[in-house]
Amino acid sequence: MADTDKSDVKDDVKDDAKDGAGSGLDMLRDELVEYLEAQAGHLVEKTGERLTDLTQQLLQSADGKGGGFLTGVGSRILGGESPLKALVAQKAGDVKDKVVEGAKSLFGKSKGKSGRAKVMNIIEVLDIGLPLRETYDHWTQYDEFSGFTKGVQSVSQSDEVTSDWKLKVGPSKRSYKATTQTQIPDDRIVWTSEGAKGTTRGCVTFHELGPTLTRIVLVVEYSPSGFFEKTGNIWRAQGRRLRLDFKNFQRYVSFADPDEVEGWRGEIRDGEVVRSHEEVVEEEEREAEGEEGEGDEEYEDEYDEEEGDDEEYDDEAPDEEGDFEDEEEEEDEEEEEAR
């Protein structure tokens, strides 16, 4: 009887334990479900708020100046893109446009009083161990520049004043039309050039330091136009290119054959030829002949003066034979008197 009561008590304890365990899991499960429901509701509220804000922004863009954004999104959706992809792509496009506008404002014309674009000044000085005329004649041979420079591809002259230059700037090619404003033989050349991507004003002067030493001073004012040129202008790429080509000119003329140099020696004033190449050459030849004639006349005058001096000396010199005869006659007369 006692054993039967004990077994009943054990069974009741086991049932209570099972019931307690089951009720605890149920409570934990219920709490977990409630938590997840609460988080889901909170997420939905957040999403709803964000969608509301986005909708308001879209409506404001449609009502204001940014109506193009909503139109662009609609066009992308009609083109087959998902709404989310269309929004992201259109937003990225707007960011790109803002970056480009910022770059333009950075490299574009200044908003100061002058309103002019930034100008780059390039000044180079170079001494070349050649006579003045030979150095100047080399410089006037523009069609030879493409053979020793890196930036010049070709040069073609329309006439004595204008020329077309094709340049290479990195991977791009540029064309410029140059006009000579002033050109004085063995002295200076002033020019201007215009192109789609910039303009330049330049002046090169030649100075004789000695019979076989010439100094060249090069001054260039460069105004870039275009994103690529303005970007290169920040790093002074054009200045470095011109400096290297200037040194290439020095190397080229130093090893060139002087007998093959035949430059253009005409004179230009205010963009017009005032003396042709032939006229200047003829004038220089006449001056050279005149200098040679003056030198011969001076030599002849000096020679004549020397001959005149000799004649005067001969007149003043005593006649030795005559004087000796006179002395003998005087001695004879003295002897006769003494007798």
Bridge partner residues of 171 (DSSP): none
Task: Please give the Cα distance from 216 to 242 (Å, whole number).
Answer: 14
Pairing of strands 267-269, 213-224: unpaired
In Å, how far are 34, 80, 208, 276, 294 from 211, measured between CA atoms? 103, 80, 7, 26, 22
Beta-strand runs (E) in the chain: 120-128, 152-157, 162-169, 172-184, 188-195, 198-210, 213-224, 267-269, 272-275
On whether the CB atoms of residues 200 and 222 are closer than 8 A, the answer is yes
On whether the CB atoms of residues 266 and 160 are closer than 8 A, the answer is yes
This prediction's pTM: 0.54
Q: What is the pLDDT of residue 180?
A: 96
Mean pLDDT for 18-45 is 68
Task: Please give the Cα distance from 214 to 208 (Å, whole number).
Answer: 5
CA torsion 156→157→163→164, rounded to 10°? Answer: -20
What residues contact 127, with CB distance under 8 A and at least 6 apart?
Answer: 209, 213, 214, 215, 216
Q: What is the DSSP letter of 129?
A: S
Q: What is the pLDDT of residue 298?
A: 60
Closest CA to 250 of 169, 148, 155: 148
Residue type, 231: T
Indicate if the pLDDT at residue 129 is higher than 70: yes
The mean pLDDT value of the chain amounts to 74
Indicate if the pLDDT at residue 49 is higher than 60: yes
Task: Please give the Cα distance from 249 to 278 (Å, whole number).
Answer: 26
Orientation of helix 132-139 relative to helix 237-255, angle to 10°: 130
For residue 251, what are its two tokens? 């190397």
For residue 115, what are its two tokens? 């309103």
Closest CA to 174 of 149, 199, 208, 157: 199
pLDDT digits (tens, 9 = 90+) for 147-172: 998 888 899 988 999 999 998 776 67
pLDDT digits (tens, 9 = 90+) for 313-325: 555 555 555 555 5
Task: Please give the Cα distance from 246 to 172 (Å, whole number).
Answer: 21
Indicate if the pLDDT at residue 109 is higher than 70: no
Instruction: Give the residue ranges of DSSP H helices in 79-178.
Output: 83-107, 132-139, 145-148
* Alpha carbons within 13 A on the beta-carbon side of 181: 9
For residue 225, what are its two tokens? 């136009």
On whether the CB atoms of residues 164 and 158 are closer than 8 A, the answer is yes
Considering 25-39, 73-87, 239-253, the range whose residues carry the highest mean pLDDT is: 239-253
